[in-house]
Amino acid sequence: MPARAKKLDVTELLHADHQIVRELFFSFSKSEDKAEKDKLVKQILTELFIHAKVEEEIVYPLLENEGEEGQEIKGEAENEHRVVQFVMAEIVNMKSDDDELKAKITVLCELVEHHAKEEEKEMFKKLRDSGEDLEALAEEVAARKVELRKESLPAMKASLVIGDEVKTGDAKKNSVKGDKDTKHKTGKAVRGLQITKTRKKSA
């Protein structure tokens, strides 16, 4: 009898998202083709947008119940998301031949990597210790991602550019004064992922 495949738990799902974005950043760094670079930038922004949304809507609120440490992790992560979104909003309308694009993507990549590593090290442990049903959470996150993926890129762009957190300047208040500061201060973001690739159907 075939053994039932283990269901993904939410930390595995989020980690798979992180990996997808890492791969996209790597592909961008290697690409010499303008059209391909444009496509990769769109994919990076889309994946980050979706991943951040599901974390903020479904995952981060759970940290509220995890004592002072959980709340600190949540606060830092949310601030890092804002910094990342600030950089994303700058990138969103750039063309592949824009001289600054490569530098901005490098900064974004560094911010995201810093953030993802912290989540993997600290937040995932908190989630595993929380007693929450991590498999059920994974299903909830995956379903929300399907919904978000139906939103058009223009809608995501509008949300990034006009979004209250980014455009009202919260990101700046929270620590950013420009790319130099951004680079050294936070870095978190979101990575998204291709649910269909990560959620292997266990049948």
Binding of Fe ion by 55 (CB under 5 A): yes
Among residues 119, 124, 138, 192, the one that binds Fe ion under rule CB under 5 A: 119
Q: Which is nearer to Fe ion, 105 or 111 (CB)?
A: 111
Rg (CA), the chain: 17
Q: Give the three-class secondary structure for 130.
A: coil
Residue closest to 132 by CA, chosen among 17, 5, 15, 10: 10
118 touches Fe ion (CB under 5 A)? no
Cβ proximity to Fe ion, 37 vs 81, nearer residue: 81
**How many residues in the shown chain lie near Fe ion by CB under 5 A?**
4
Query: What is the pattern of x (binds Fe ion, CB under 5 A) and - over residues 163-202?
Result: ---------------------------x------------
> How many other β-carbons are positioned within 10 Å of the β-carbon of residue 193?
25
Instruction: Classify burial at 100, counting beta carbons within 10 Å of its beta carbon; exposed 0-12, middle 13-18, buried 19 or more.
Output: exposed
Which residues from 13-42 bind Fe ion, rule CB under 5 A?
14
Q: CB under 8 Å to 58, separation ≥6 — which residues?
A: 137, 140, 141, 144
Q: Provide the minimum distance between the beta carbon of 103 and Fe ion in the complex, in angstroms, as a whole number.
A: 23
| Residues in touch with Fe ion (CB under 5 A) | 14, 55, 119, 190
